[in-house]
Structures are given as structure tokens and as C-alpha cells.
Structure 1
Amino acid sequence: MGSEQTKSVEVASMNLSPEAVASGGTDEEKDFERHGSLQAGIVVDPAVEKRVLRKLDRRLAPLFALLYFLAYLDRSNIGNAAVVGLKSQLHLTEEQYSTAVSVFFATYVVFELPVVLAMRRLRPHILIASMALAWAVVTIGTAFVRSFGSLVACRVLLGLCEAGFFPCLSLYITMAYKREEQGLRLAYLFASSSLASMFGGLIATGITKVGEVGNLQAWSWLYIIEGLVSTVIVPFIFLFLPDNPSKAKFWTPEEHAVMEQRDIQRQEYLGSQVFEWKEVASAFCDPKLYATALIQFFQDIILYGFSTFLPSILKLGLGYSSLQAQYLGVPVYALGGISFFSAAVLGDKLRLRGTLLFFMDLFAIIGYILLLSVKSSGVRYFACYLIAIPLYCGPGLNEIWVNNNMAGHYRRATAIGVQQAIGNLAGVVAPQVYRKAPYRLGHWASLVSGIISMCLIAAQITYLWLMNRKKEQILNGKREDDRRITTGESALEFRYVY
């Protein structure tokens, strides 16, 4: 086949009009290309692409959402176990309980970056399935602890087993979806963590009514049941999670071609698939990395303090019974999940991340002020709903933000790993400030964290705006091009998301 004939076939397969080919693309296509969404003149058939996205969502979204639901459930169920007998049977003091919650993050934080960097080499389906099986076994084992020391040991092991799990899922999403598609898909994960908090309370409530069975108290059965459920999902991960979403066996030839075209469109964003230490080093030299990591830390102070201790806040801080504390927390968590899902969809549509988060954090600020200044239990319970609005939006939108603004696979993997590692240090801090009812120290710490986070978000938005303006000035010939690196996110076509 001659070169002209080959070109005609390629043009037809890409659904380009003859006028677009002759002029180098329509105005819309040129504008799209300038902003980093088209490369090499490739346009994907929208109808086929929608079909591909639907299939991706059917294959990945339920699996990832269920995985994160179970991981979050197994990690956070200590909060529900505490109010249904764990603390009393093990004779834990408030300090010991807080330590048991915190120590999970000792191993979790240390191993996040190495695990996410190794995901491609170790193959995602093997790595993620292995982590799920390991944390399920440890969760079941926790049911049989009978001392503070053995509880701490199980929490340390659980942190090791779950380390890198969420960063791996987040990185995998960037391999499969475009920047403007990632918010909704990451929202599935955070919505599932909200469901885990909701159902954790409901499960604990149901098990409490059953009471002691087979010489095991209700809190032990809570761990056994949730651990066994986690083991069920392992074979599905191993069998059905493709290592490379573009080369999955479930694509038709036409769909496979579209996935390859999407990868070419995103070449600057995806970057090299070969590991190089200079990619890791370049991420550590980027100020965006440290800004996003600090934002994550302060947002996680709010998330871990509130989500883990909400049953205790409702029981000991607001005066509700154990049963009331469990079911009153359900609608609070539900609002948090709905809020993040809505924010993620809106963020994808408007291409906004940090800007949305800045304004949503205002609800948490008002909520903590009410918790600290009002004595009415009803008003303080209402304050919990205000705090829930940005509860998952904080870490979630910030995670999408760094995914969108770091180009190159291993630069992005490094940024995700470091962001999550520093952010999850909040898991060590939060239990230490939420030691004693009525938890005023914890509420003050969360209030200050929200204010600092908003300041950092504003600074990050300003920095990204200046970087985009610099690229515009270079493109328009108003500024000398002094870039040392011209690929990846440094490319003039790449635009940072606010």
C-alpha cells in the first residue's frame, strides 16, 4: 500500500474531515491540541470512545470501589470495635487506644512510596491481590488479640499490608483515564470509603445485638466477618485486573485501537514507561510536590480525626449511647460521600480541583467553630454534618490535583507516594490529639489544620496560575523561552489545573 493510501486509511479511522486534514485540524481540534489533549493530529471517534469509557468503568470501577471499601473498613473498624467491647475486654486506657490507632501508620507511611514505584515492575494484578489477601488474614487475626501488645502488633502488620494500596489504585487510574476523566473515577474510591464508614457502624450495631457467640465477643466477630469478606475479592483481582489497561484482553480490535490513540494523545502526560532515577529525583525538586503533600497532611488531620473518632465523639463528646452513636454516624458519613462525588463530577466538568476544595473547606471551619463554642448537643451534631461536607473532598480533590498536574509516569508515581506518605503521618497525629472527651484539643487541631490548608491551597493556585501565564507568554512571543526541560508538564501545550 502506498504512502498516500496509507494516510487515507489512517485519516478515515480517526474520523477527520478532509477540511480538517487540509488545514491541520478544525479550530476546536487546534485549541484542544494546544491544551495538551491531542498529540500527533489524532482525533478519537467520540462514539467509540464513550463505549470504551463505559467498558473501562464496568471492568474497573466496581472492582476498585469494592477493594477500597474493604481496605478502609478493615483499617477503620477499630473505631467501631472500641465502642462495642474492644477497649473494655483488653482493658485499654485512652492513651493505649490512641496509640493502637496511630501505630498502623508507622509501617503504612514508610512503605507507600516503594510500593507504588514498584507497581509496574511487580505487575498490578499480583501486587494488589497479594496486599488484599495479606490484610484480610491480619484482620481476621486481630479478632483473637487479648492484650494491648498483640493489638499493636496486628495494627503494625495491617499498616504494612495496606501500604501503597491507595497510591497504586490512584496511579492505575491515571494509566487508564485522561486528566479530565479522573475525578469521577477517584470519587468512586472515596465514595466507597464513605460507605465503609457507614456500613461499619451498621455492621457493628447488628453484631452488638447478637452479642457473644462461641466465646468471642461482638468486636471479635466484627473483625472475623470483615476479614473473611476481604478474602473473597482476592481471586477476582488476580483474574480480572489487567496489568496494562490499554492492552487488556477484553477490548475488541476497534476499542483497542481507540485505547492506543488515547495513549498517543496523552503522551506528554504519560511519559516514559521505563524507570529512571532522574524521574524520581525531578519530582523531589518540584515545589508542587511539597505543597500538595502538606495540604494532604492537614486535610488528613481532619479526615482521620473525624472519621475514626466520630463514634466516640458522638458517645463521649455529645452524650449519646453506644447504639445511638453507631447509627447517628451513618447519615454524616453518607453526606461526606455524596459531597465528594458531586465535587469530583463538577471538578471534571469545570477542570477545577484546588479552587473547589478551598471553598468547601469553609464548611469544616464553621463546623469546628460550632463544636468548640456551642453546648447544645443538637447544634453540635449539626456541626458534624458541616464537617462531613469537605471530609473526603479534602484528601480526594487534592489527590486528583496532583495526578492532573504531574506528568510522566514515574514522576507522578513519586508525587503520589510522597504525598500519601506525608499526608498519612496525620494518622499518627490525629489519635494523639483526640485522646480525651470532649475532644476539644482534637477539634482545635482540626480547625487550625483547615485554616493552614486553605492558605496552602491559595498559594498553590497562585503558583500554578503564574506557571500557566509564563507558558502563554512564551507561546505569544512576549517572553524568552528559558526552559531547561521542554517535555512532559514543561511542554508549552501542557496546562496546569487549578
Structure 2
Amino acid sequence: MDSKDPPTDPEKTVEEKGATEHEHTVSTADIDTSNTSDVDERQLIRRVDWRLVPWFSLLYLLSFLDRTSIGNAKLYGLEADLRISDNQYLVSLTVFFISYSIFEVPSNIFLKRMRPSVWFAFLMTMWGLMMMLQGFAHNFGGLVGLRWMLGMFEAGLYRMAYHLSCWYKRSELGIRTALFTSATTLSGAFGGLLAAAISNMHGVGGKTAWSWIFILEGLATIAAGVASYWVVQDFPEDAKFLTEKERAFMIRRLQGDDQFSAAGEKLEMRNILASFRDWKTWFGMAQLMGCDMPLYAFSLFTPSVINQLGFSATPANLLTVPIYAFAAIVTCCVAYYSDKHGRRGYCNIVMLSIGAIGYIILAVSRNAKLSYIAIYIASCGIFPVVPNTVTWVANNFEGTYKRGVSLALGISMGNLNGAVSSNVYRAKDRPWYPLGHGLVLMYICIAIIANALFLYLLKQENARRDRGERDEVIGPEGLVDNGNGRYATVEDAKREKGDNWSGYRYIL
């Protein structure tokens, strides 16, 4: 029975209608064919891809390059010139993650309240300025203050994943997220090449090589930030590069994918609080904690690890390039498979297990060549898992504010544990860093457990909905609520309950 038809049996519940109603929400019947029948969907999505993904990839490359380039700068005398100890260097890494985590959720809310083109442009320009000013730091206090400000302004840039979730179906999001997140891996490769090239500017203008790394990369970020005002696209309902007919089509295809809030949603406290009350939010935080700490540890210290295996600064940076290129390929392959087969949790568990093997080898190896090979294996359990986890979390929340806040909380927790990563590779543990490798392995095990439990609980909940245990009562006010809620129409149930609606199925 369609929700628009008068009820033939006032006692009917969604249990009796469940599958039919759910199929209706994903059918083309929801699209107003009188207005959008001539829209070529494939061509439209291809246009959206070109407008969003390449530029977001560039922005994320710059962001990760800026936050991790201090690892490259360290190899060119940063500590000696600023007269800081190894512990002070670790503190300067830590403060970035603390401010990044604190400002993550507020930044996410601002994104929905403000135009993304304005918000992203502001954030990038300001953190580019902080990045550049690091090249003029003279002491520990100046470096720490600038790292704090860098984290504050970079907070919210990973909202690009949330922004993409407002444009694509759940089965389309993974590969797009992986493509721009692969900029993380490319930033590692590009950062090594760039640092090696910039090192030749040592002494120019009275500045050292490490100073020029910060200055030039900061200037590039400022330029990209200014350009973002014109290049970044806003939400589908007001995208200027789409016609009115295409905007309507984009919104309806998202609503057909159980994204009922695609046409817009008011900022209400209940939508934000719903995120904190949802058990999935807390599992998302555990999952991202387990994979983000290894990500930052890998990116910040791989050049140093290779350096301590017997390679000087420039060769150490260059030897990171093939590692990151390999990780980028694996990341995109995993994302493509996950999108096609809808098996995000299974992919995470497999890749994390491979990464664990890599870190076991790193922890016990005392051979430079074996350790270098193990770094490739370890990268498989880090880089593909981060975008796949973010996509998985985004896939299983309906409501733009609820999804945004849940993602922000998960990413905040992940980045807060990045502060741990900046303190575990100590100079006194070189060249094999057993403590660092051991703690990263522990975090990977946490991620495996969190992913396995999340997958199990989602399967259980889907099974309950298949059995009709979550069905609402649909009909006039006189009907008795069965404990799952009573709504006049199915559309009302979707709108009010979001991903708690009985016809909503979680992605596994």
C-alpha cells in the first residue's frame, strides 16, 4: 500500500507493508519524470565528479602535506636550529592534534550553516598562513603556538567526506572518498619529493632548507584557499553549475537512497543530540581511533624510520615515494570493491589484519631490508581503512546534522589519538622503535575488535527489521502505538526517525 493511498485497513502496520514500502523509496517512481525524465544520470554524475573530487583531492593533499611536513623538516636541522630537544619536538606535534580535535565538531556545524565555498576558503587561507609562519619560527614557543593555530584552522577540512555524502548515494560514496583521501598517500610521496627539491634552497634569503619547506608549502595553500571561494561547490539544492531540473533530480535520487533529508533540514538541537544518543556514533569513534593513530604515526615518522635504517635525509624522503604510491593503489581498489559489493566492514577487518602482520614484522625485525618491505605491508592496514571507515559511518546515519556531528565526533576522537602517535617514536628507541611499532599494533587490534562488533550489531539490527520488530504503526490518530511510534504516513516516519525508520537498512 502506498503511503499516499487511503488506508484500507486501519490496523495495518509497517510490518505488513515493510518490504513494499522500502522498495518504493528506492524506485524511480519517486522522481518527477515530467520534469526530469530527460536528465542523463550518468553524464550528470560525471559532471559532479569533475566539479568535486579533483579539487577536494588537491585540498586534502595540501592539508596532509602541511600537517606532516614537519617530519621532513626535521631531517634538515629543525631541532638544532630552534635549539629544541626531542621531547619538545614531540610536544609541537601533539598540540596540533589537540586543537584539531577540539574544533572539529564546531567546524562541522558551521559548514552546514555557511556556504562550503566560503568556509573551506577561509580555513585554507588561514592555515596556509600558519604553515608559512612556521618558517619564521625562532624558538620552541613560536613553533608550538603556530602548530596549535594550524590544527585549529585545519579542523573541519575532512568535512569534505561529509560534504560528498550530501551529493552521492551510499553505494557511490566510498570510491569518491578514497580518491580524495588517497591524497594522504600522495602527500607522503609528494612531500618527500618536494622536501628533497626544496632542500636545494638552503641559504637562499638567509633561510635554511626547513624554513623554505614551510614557507613555500604555506604559500601554495594560501593560493588554493583563495581559489576555493570560486571552485568549491555548495550543496545540491543550490549548486550553481546545475540547472533547476538537475538540482531536483539530484535531490530525488538521494531521497530514493534513504537520504530523506537531502532536500534540506533545519538546525535543531534534537538533531545534534540524536548523534550523541546513537550507539553507532560511539562505535565510529572507536573505529576511527583505531585507524587514525596508525595513520599519523606512519606519516609523521616513516621518513625518520627509513633514515635510521641507514639512509641519509634526501634518500630517506625519496624512499617513501613508492610506499605511498602503492598505498594509494590499494586504497582505491578496496574502495571500489566495497562500493560494488557493500562489504565495508569485511574489507576493514581483512586490511587491518594485513597491517597487523606488517607491524609484527617491524616490531621483531632487525634487518633494514626486511623492515622496509614490512612498511609496505603495514600501509595496507592503514590507508585503505581510514576512508572506508569514514564512508561506512556516513552510510549508516540519516539526517544531515546527525550524520555530520557523528562523523565529526569520530574524526575528533581519531585525531585526538593522533596526539598519541606523535609521542611514541622516541629518539632513544631508534633505529628499530619497538615501542612505537608495538603501540601502533595495539591500536590496529582495537580497530579490528571495534569493526567486528560494529558489523555484528548492524547485522543483528537489520535482521530485527527484516522480522518486523521495529515496524511503526501507520494510520490515523486513533490507532494504538505499538512502542515503535505511530505516524500518519510512511513519509512522516522516515522524516522523524531517519535511520531508525523500520524500512532503513544498514550498510555492512
Alignment partner of 2:505 out of 471, 495, 498: 495
Q: Is 1:224 aligned to residue 225 of structure 2?
A: no
- Give the drift of 1:267: 5.6
| Distance of 1:343 and 1:447 partners within structure 2 | 21
Aligned counterpart, 1:4 = none
Aligned counterpart, 1:377 = 368
- Give the drift of 1:119: 1.1
Q: Is 1:427 aligned to residue 418 of structure 2?
A: yes
Aligned counterpart, 1:338 = 329
Alignment partner of 2:250 out of 240, 251, 259: 259
- Give the drift of 1:254: 4.3
Code of the residue aligned with 2:459 in structure 1: it is W
| Distance of 1:134 and 1:213 partners within structure 2 | 25
Code of the residue aligned with 1:447 in structure 2: it is L
Q: Call closer, same or farther: CA 1:442–1:484 in 2, change over 3 Å.
A: farther
| Distance of 1:283 and 1:39 partners within structure 2 | 30
Q: Call closer, same or farther: CA 1:450–1:32 in 2, change over 3 Å.
A: farther
Alignment partner of 1:157 out of 137, 143, 149: 149
| Distance of 2:346 and 2:108 partners within structure 1 | 27
Code of the residue aligned with 1:284 in structure 2: it is F
Code of the residue aligned with 2:79 in structure 1: it is K
Aligned counterpart, 2:63 = 71
Gaps of 5+ in 1: 1-29
- Give the drift of 1:497: 0.8
Code of the residue aligned with 1:91 in structure 2: it is R
Q: Is 1:399 aligned to residue 390 of structure 2?
A: yes
- Give the drift of 1:448: 1.2
Alignment partner of 1:296 out of 270, 288, 293: 288
CA deviations on 1:162-208 (whole Å, 9 max, x unpaired) are 11111x21111111111111111111221111111111100111122
Residue aligned with 1:433, SS:
coil
Q: Call closer, same or farther: CA 1:469–1:155 in 2, change over 3 Å.
A: same
Q: Call closer, same or farther: CA 1:481–1:170 in 2, change over 3 Å.
A: farther
Q: Is 1:186 aligned to residue 196 of structure 2?
A: no
- Give the drift of 1:255: 2.6
Alignment partner of 1:128 out of 98, 107, 120: 120
Alignment partner of 2:445 out of 440, 451, 454: 451
Residue aligned with 2:467, SS:
helix
CA deviations on 1:466-498 (whole Å, 9 max, x unpaired) are 000001000899xx9643494311222211011
- Give the drift of 1:246: 3.3
Aligned counterpart, 2:276 = 284
Alignment partner of 2:468 out of 445, 470, 474: 474
| Distance of 1:262 and 1:491 partners within structure 2 | 19
Q: Call closer, same or farther: CA 1:263–1:87 in 2, change over 3 Å.
A: same
Asked if 1 retains the 8 angstrom alpha-carbon contact of 2:52 and 2:233, the reply is no
Q: Is 1:141 aligned to residue 151 of structure 2?
A: no
Give the length in aligned residue pairs.
466
Asked if 2 retains the 8 angstrom alpha-carbon contact of 1:367 and 1:383, the reply is yes
Aligned counterpart, 1:113 = 105
Code of the residue aligned with 1:294 in structure 2: it is A
Q: Is 1:233 aligned to residue 227 of structure 2?
A: no
TM-score by length of 2: 0.87
- Give the drift of 1:268: 4.2
Which stretch shows the higher mean deviation, 174-183 or 115-124? 115-124
Percent identity reads: 31
Code of the residue aligned with 2:23 in structure 1: it is R
Alignment partner of 1:60 out of 46, 52, 57: 52
Gaps of 5+ in 2: 1-18, 472-480, 487-492
Residue aligned with 1:297, SS:
helix
- Give the drift of 1:33: 4.7
Asked if 2 retains the 8 angstrom alpha-carbon contact of 1:191 and 1:337, the reply is yes
Code of the residue aligned with 1:244 in structure 2: it is F
Asked if 2 retains the 8 angstrom alpha-carbon contact of 1:79 and 1:311, the reply is yes
| Distance of 1:254 and 1:484 partners within structure 2 | 35
Q: Call closer, same or farther: CA 1:120–1:348 in 2, change over 3 Å.
A: same
| Distance of 1:343 and 1:36 partners within structure 2 | 29
Aligned counterpart, 2:433 = 439
TM-score by length of 1: 0.89
Code of the residue aligned with 2:246 in structure 1: it is E
Alignment partner of 1:82 out of 66, 74, 92: 74
Aligned counterpart, 1:275 = 267
Alignment partner of 2:168 out of 152, 171, 177: 177
Code of the residue aligned with 1:86 in structure 2: it is L
Asked if 2 retains the 8 angstrom alpha-carbon contact of 1:283 and 1:414, the reply is yes
CA deviations on 1:65-84 (whole Å, 9 max, x unpaired) are 11111111111110101111
Which stretch shows the higher mean deviation, 41-50 or 409-418? 41-50
Code of the residue aligned with 1:169 in structure 2: it is M
Asked if 2 retains the 8 angstrom alpha-carbon contact of 1:113 and 1:421, the reply is yes
Asked if 2 retains the 8 angstrom alpha-carbon contact of 1:39 and 1:267, the reply is no
Q: Call closer, same or farther: CA 1:252–1:422 in 2, change over 3 Å.
A: same
| Distance of 2:194 and 2:251 partners within structure 1 | 44
- Give the drift of 1:319: 2.4
Asked if 2 retains the 8 angstrom alpha-carbon contact of 1:301 and 1:426, the reply is yes
Code of the residue aligned with 1:425 in structure 2: it is L
Code of the residue aligned with 2:447 in structure 1: it is S
Residue aligned with 1:305, SS:
helix
| Distance of 1:157 and 1:279 partners within structure 2 | 30
| Distance of 1:233 and 1:203 partners within structure 2 | 17
Alignment partner of 1:41 out of 30, 54, 67: 30
| Distance of 1:263 and 1:338 partners within structure 2 | 29
CA deviations on 1:20-63 (whole Å, 9 max, x unpaired) are xxxxxxxxxx8895395348633876971111110001111111
